[in-house]
Structure 1
Amino acid sequence: MKGIRITKSGKYQVTFDQGIINGVRHKSTKVFDTLGEAEKALTEFKYNKQRNLLVTVNNMSLVELLDYWMKKYVKYKCEETTRYGYNNIISKHIAPYFVDVELSKLQPMHVQDYYDHLMKVKGLSPNTVHKHHACIRKALDFGMKQQLVHRNVADAVELPKKEFFEGVSYSKEQLNELLQKVKGTKLEVPVYLASYLGLRREEISGLKWKNVDLEKRSISIVEVRTSAGKNVITKGPKTKESRRTIYIVDELLEVLLRQKVTQKRFKDILKSEYEDSDYVFTKDNGKPYRVNSVTEQFSKFLQQNNFPKIRLHDLRHSFASILYAEGLDLKAISEVLGHSNVGTTIKIYTHRFDIVHEKPAMAMSKALNLKNSNVV
């Protein structure tokens, strides 16, 4: 077959003629042990060449591909928080490690060694390694579509097992104690919103008075505030289920009414120096807090008042756990939490809802009427 010749060692050398590119003819060769392998490779090459599916001849490095992916895909397709995360991973970790490694020479073992480096040298967690993997794999997928690489080597890499993180929940008694202790402090509003409605940090930080109806006693989650480095990002909720309206109970209504009065008092005192931002959770001058500020304040408050250490987000977990213990069904809990489906709620919370599986065990006992049987 034209394009195949037998070498002195008795093997079969295939010449892949990609034609003239930018005025230069590009050819490459590869040696195979059998004629069948050589013919198969050449046939596949010709098939791809006829359909313009050949990988572009280039000396691009992995880092250059990642930069190209960021500029041509991530910039237009991903949210700012995602872009920020990818950029951090690439600039702080991937680029310094791979430096000038060419795409054409990149092998699964290179990526595998990188993941080992992240855990053993950098001390990063398996979960963080999965984030790095997602970045590399998506960039290489883009490279395949652009015909810059012929395969995604990241697909052949073995990933470490993810670690399951389990937050801590407060009991009813602990939560009641916290709610009493936080009254009159700057944390009263966020703690009550998280405890009584299960709101996320970004939902609390992004809540505006225009989305609070004190007469009809409802709060609408239509906007959130988050951050990407020093940049504050205001956007809509991630899913349509997260966009929801929740009833304001008496205890929370009192807190919100007090917050209204407090903000009005500071506005009267500070006059032009007061910033009427319309946010519910603000500093004395009306400006909203940094997104991370509330979690920092919360952690410090717990330490100063000798409360068990939890995250602000764990108040959301406490909210869900207490509701379930009170007999509320999973669908209702899922809806108020703003989960995309009940499956998400089950995945996150079931292990803490019924740790000894008492409910199904008792249901089976009742069904078989074991209590009335003469069991020895």
Structure 2
Amino acid sequence: MSIRKLNDGRFQADVSLGINPLTNKRRRKKKTFKHKKDAEDWISKTKQLYKSQQVIGERQLDFITLKDLYLEESKLHHKPNYYKIQEYTINKHITPAFKNSIIKKITPTEIREYQSKLIDTGLSYKSINNIMIILKKFFDKAIEEQVIPANPCKSIKNLSLDKKQMKFWTPEQFKLFIQLIDKDEYMFKVFYTFAYFTGMRCGEILALTWNDIDKFRKEVNIYKSLTYINKEIIITKPKTKNSIRRISINSKLIELLQDWKREQQDLFSKYKMKHSNEIHIFQYKDQAPTKDIFSRKIRTICERDDKVEAIRLHDFRHSHVALLIHQREDYTTIKERLGHASIKTTIDVYGHLFPNKQRETADRLDELF
């Protein structure tokens, strides 16, 4: 550590920060000041930061390099679909704004300005919050790489979201929907019936093969999920470890599946395709269908009669829960059937669908009068 007076009257501070483990050379920092006292204060602060392991690293990484490091780690530790979402969001929404930025100089003020610009684009608040979550993770990576000492996103609050009312079909509405499906659309009838009476996620349903159905025990073995990335089928583990489960299904649903299996075998024979128990249950071409096919078909079917309002494909899962609640099933049973990580998740998402118990409690108090 030293302070040297230069010929122009300024003071140059020179501080040693130990050995760089990558180069095996001494790590030094230098800075010039007008006053000697400022140089002394800087040396003291720099050494204090270094000792507390908060010193900014020597690596001068730009945004693109950090982005590549972040995505590389994301690809290594997460499912392909998660990685693709990260990659798309960063390239679409974050890179254009930050590609020429000086990472070390970004403050919460710039982050708030960026959030405001996203609002001006007309994106939904939910989408903006998702972008900000990824941006925060990106700066966490910058901290990990010792490029910055603190995350400028840390103090930025999420935008408030309007809670939308959950949509679901009652058994009567579902029956009306099923009746609108034509005879030559039998596979769609089976798919939507299966989704309504199991509450499985779409990716879990599409991943099923005939081997996953135990018709004797009347159970479905759920341990994988299917998605498409760049038109290629990707099979991954389900959403969480609790999503790996076996659920019971009713006898009529088993019969419906067996009827479709026979029809599927005839269809494969017609196209001279080999059929086996390793075939995806809802496959009707040379490979499993995409989620979008079933999402679009709901709207098409509902347009045939204005008595049935279209819902999203994921709302079949909500409809199944509403059905179970109507059947007076408890939280624990519903949690296990849906594959939630905890009963708190089930209550947080679906608690409002349960009947109000306060009325029953108040009525019982009448017996004490």
Over the aligned positions, Cα root-mean-square deviation in angstroms equals 3.1
| Letter of the structure 1 residue corresponding to residue 223 of structure 2 | V
Structure-2-length-normalised TM-score? 0.85
Distance of 1:316 and 1:14 partners within structure 2: 67
Partner of 2:104: 104
Partner of 2:294: 294
Q: 1:63 to 1:116 in 2, by over 3 A?
A: farther
> How big is each residue's C-alpha offset from its partner over 1:3-44, in whole Å with a ceiling of 9 and x where there is no partner?
599xxxxxxx99463679989964235799xx8x98776434
| Letter of the structure 2 residue corresponding to residue 160 of structure 1 | L
Distance of 1:304 and 1:320 partners within structure 2: 26
| Letter of the structure 1 residue corresponding to residue 152 of structure 2 | V
Please state if 1:230 is matched with 2:231. yes
Distance of 1:52 and 1:115 partners within structure 2: 30
The Cα of 1:57 is off from its aligned counterpart by 3.2
Please state if 1:166 is matched with 2:165. yes
Q: 1:137 to 1:39 in 2, by over 3 A?
A: farther
Distance of 2:267 and 2:288 partners within structure 1: 14
Instruction: Determine helix, strand or coil for the equivalent of 2:122.
Output: coil
Distance of 2:3 and 2:125 partners within structure 1: 47
Q: 1:56 to 1:240 in 2, by over 3 A?
A: closer
Distance of 1:14 and 1:352 partners within structure 2: 69
| Letter of the structure 1 residue corresponding to residue 75 of structure 2 | K
The Cα of 1:2 is off from its aligned counterpart by 6.7
1:28-47 alignment runs, 5 A limit: 28=31, 42-47=43-48
Distance of 2:164 and 2:42 partners within structure 1: 47
Asked whether the 8 Å contact 1:218–1:248 carries over to 2, the reply is yes
Partner of 2:360: 362
Q: 1:226 to 1:112 in 2, by over 3 A?
A: same
Asked whether the 8 Å contact 1:201–1:312 carries over to 2, the reply is yes
Partner of 2:144: 145
Distance of 1:274 and 1:301 partners within structure 2: 31
Moved more, 57-66 or 307-316: 57-66
Partner of 1:202: 203
Distance of 2:212 and 2:90 partners within structure 1: 38
The total of aligned residue pairs comes to 355
Partner of 2:130: 131
Q: 1:148 to 1:212 in 2, by over 3 A?
A: same
Q: 1:331 to 1:309 in 2, by over 3 A?
A: same
Distance of 1:4 and 1:176 partners within structure 2: 86
Asked whether the 8 Å contact 1:84–1:229 carries over to 2, the reply is no
Structure 1 regions of 5+ residues with no counterpart? 6-12
Distance of 2:65 and 2:111 partners within structure 1: 16
Q: 1:31 to 1:261 in 2, by over 3 A?
A: farther
Partner of 1:94: 94
The Cα of 1:152 is off from its aligned counterpart by 0.8
Distance of 2:359 and 2:12 partners within structure 1: 67
Q: 1:364 to 1:183 in 2, by over 3 A?
A: farther
Identical aligned pairs, as a percentage? 23
Asked whether the 8 Å contact 1:199–1:337 carries over to 2, the reply is yes
1:1-376 alignment runs, 5 A limit: 15=13, 17=15, 26-28=29-31, 42-49=43-50, 54-71=55-72, 73-120=73-120, 122-182=121-181, 184=183, 185=185, 186-271=187-272, 273=273, 278-283=279-284, 285=285, 287-306=287-306, 307-354=308-355, 357=356, 359-366=357-364, 368-369=365-366, 373=369
> How big is each residue's C-alpha offset from its partner over 1:80-119, in whole Å with a ceiling of 9 and x where there is no partner?
1111111111111111112311112111111111111111
> How big is each residue's C-alpha offset from its partner over 1:330-372, in whole Å with a ceiling of 9 and x where there is no partner?
1111111111111111111112334xx3x22321331x22x77
Q: 1:94 to 1:105 in 2, by over 3 A?
A: same
Distance of 1:352 and 1:254 partners within structure 2: 30
Distance of 1:88 and 1:214 partners within structure 2: 41
The Cα of 1:310 is off from its aligned counterpart by 0.5
Distance of 1:251 and 1:17 partners within structure 2: 78
Instruction: Determine helix, strand or coil for the equivalent of 2:303.
Output: helix
Q: 1:31 to 1:343 in 2, by over 3 A?
A: farther
Q: 1:29 to 1:180 in 2, by over 3 A?
A: farther
Structure-1-length-normalised TM-score? 0.83
> How big is each residue's C-alpha offset from its partner over 1:143-171, in whole Å with a ceiling of 9 and x where there is no partner?
21221111111112233123434331112
Instruction: Determine helix, strand or coil for the equivalent of 2:163.
Output: coil
The Cα of 1:53 is off from its aligned counterpart by 5.2
Q: 1:219 to 1:108 in 2, by over 3 A?
A: same
> How big is each residue's C-alpha offset from its partner over 1:114-152, in whole Å with a ceiling of 9 and x where there is no partner?
1111111x2112211221122121121122122111111
| Letter of the structure 1 residue corresponding to residue 68 of structure 2 | D
> How big is each residue's C-alpha offset from its partner over 1:257-301, in whole Å with a ceiling of 9 and x where there is no partner?
111110121233222x45656110011x45311232221222222
Structure 2 regions of 5+ residues with no counterpart? 6-10
Q: 1:31 to 1:66 in 2, by over 3 A?
A: farther
Distance of 2:86 and 2:3 partners within structure 1: 43
Asked whether the 8 Å contact 1:275–1:287 carries over to 2, the reply is no
| Letter of the structure 2 residue corresponding to residue 127 of structure 1 | K
Q: 1:126 to 1:14 in 2, by over 3 A?
A: farther
Q: 1:87 to 1:202 in 2, by over 3 A?
A: same
